[in-house]
Structure 1
Amino acid sequence: MNFQTSLWIYKKELKLFFGTYMGPLVLGGTAFLNALFIMILNFNGRANYEEATVVTFVSFMTTILIAMIIISMGSIVEEKNKGTLELLFTSPITDVDIVIGKFLFGVTICAIITVFINGLFPILLYSYWQAPLYIVISGMIGVFLLGTFTYTVGLFASSLAKSQMISLLISVVIILTLWVVGYFSHLFQSTTRKVLFHLHIFSHFISFSKGVLPLTGIIFFISGTFLFLYLTVKVLESRRWRG
């Protein structure tokens, strides 16, 4: 791995994102959806900060999923369609360099959304609802971990697909599968039930919105992130070998 090469890819992705309609669309759209969801759901008869906090971060959960899937769905597939991926393959750039560079870009955008787009609303929670600061911080950490994980799922889907729509579909299927398995875990025996429930994204995320930093949730999102990064590298390696 050459960090300078990964950094070059990272800067290229940032320039492309902020130099086109994608940057304003994703960041502006996320801010708009956050405001819409929170104004409709949060300030409508909420009795206390516990309810307000959970609703706020569930809104963030929805918007970060949408934003990171949109950002990642064309990350690699567009390189294929434009022919630049083959150019990267013939350059002294490894598959790990490509994936790490794109991953750093995704982490940066996720951090921008979490801190600068979502950050305004936890301030309202802290000032208007008198929500404890530790709940606000834990919720923001949960949003960032979920966003990073979602981006790597989309990156993996983009490495498999031949178009952005197929990449989007694969990402949604993976996320929905991890979303719903927990709801059906009670139908299985104890060991299988525990495994399926552990794969339930919502159960891991919701703890963060209640002021808890669950070790299982942190491990789930971080290990899932590294798993999909590894799978993306393997897909690119197989494509390189196939020519």
Structure 2
Amino acid sequence: MNFQTAIWIYRKEMKLFFQTYMGPLVLGGTAFLNALFIMILNFNGRTNYEEATVVTFVSFMTTILIAMVILSMGSIVEEKNKGTLELLYTSPITDFDIVVGKFLFGMTICLIITIFINGFFPLVLYSFWQAPLYLVISGSVGVFLLGIFTFSVGLFASSLAKNQMISLLIAVMVILTLWVVGYFSHLFQATTRKVLFHLHIFSHYISFSKGVLPLTSIVFFLTGTFLFLYLTIKVLESRRWRG
């Protein structure tokens, strides 16, 4: 890996993001949806910080999924369509550099959303509902981990697809599969049920909104992120071999 090359790709992605419509769309859209969901769900008869915190971070779960899927769905497929991916292949840049550079970009935007976009609402929880600070911190950690996991899924989908819509569909199908698999785990035997429930995204995420930093959930999101990044690299390598 050439770290300088990965940083160059990262800077290119950041520049494109803030100089095009994607910046206002993702950041502004996330802020708007957060406000909308929380106004509808959170301030409707909530009488304690436990309910308010869970509902707030469930809202964040929805918006970070949407934001990261939109952000990642064209990350690689647009390079293919514009022919810039072939230019990268002919330059001394490895597939690992490409994926790392793009992932660092996605991780940065996810961090910006978690701290500067979502951060306003936990402050409201902390001041208005008197929610303990550890709830705010643990929930924010959960949002960030879910965000980078979703972005890695979107990168993988983008490496497989021929256009952004197919990329979006692949990413949504993967997320939905991991979303609903836990609800059907009770239909299977004990060992299979345990495995399927472990793959359930919601069961891992919701613990963070309750003030817990579960090691199994942290490991789940991090290993899932690395797995999809690895698969993305392998897809790009196979494309390079095919010419």
- Normalised by the size of structure 2, how large is the TM-score? 1.00
Q: 1:207, 1:189 → 2: CA distance?
A: 25
- C-alpha displacement of 1:47: 1.7
Q: 2:43, 2:128 → 1: CA distance?
A: 10
Q: Which residue number in structure 2 is paired with residue 154 of structure 1? A: 154
Q: 2:6, 2:29 → 1: CA distance?
A: 28
Matches within 5 A, 1:211-226: 211-226=211-226
After superposition, the CA RMSD in angstroms is 0.3
Matches within 5 A, 1:1-243: 1-243=1-243
Q: 2:157, 2:90 → 1: CA distance?
A: 23
The code of the aligned residue for 2:153 comes to V
Q: Kindly report structure 1 stretches of 4+ aligned residues shifted beyond 6 Å.
A: none
Deviation per CA, 1:147-189, whole angstroms, max 9, x where unpaired? 0000000000000000000000000000000000000000000
Q: 1:163, 1:178 → 2: CA distance?
A: 23
The number of aligned residues is 243
Identity of aligned residues (%): 86
Q: 1:144, 1:106 → 2: CA distance?
A: 11
Q: 2:221, 2:84 → 1: CA distance?
A: 31
- C-alpha displacement of 1:17: 0.4
Q: 2:97, 2:142 → 1: CA distance?
A: 27
Q: Unaligned 5+ residue runs, structure 2? A: none
Q: Unaligned 5+ residue runs, structure 1? A: none
- C-alpha displacement of 1:195: 0.2
Deviation per CA, 1:63-108, whole angstroms, max 9, x where unpaired? 0000000000000000000000000001000000000000000000
- Normalised by the size of structure 1, how large is the TM-score? 1.00
Q: 2:134, 2:230 → 1: CA distance?
A: 33
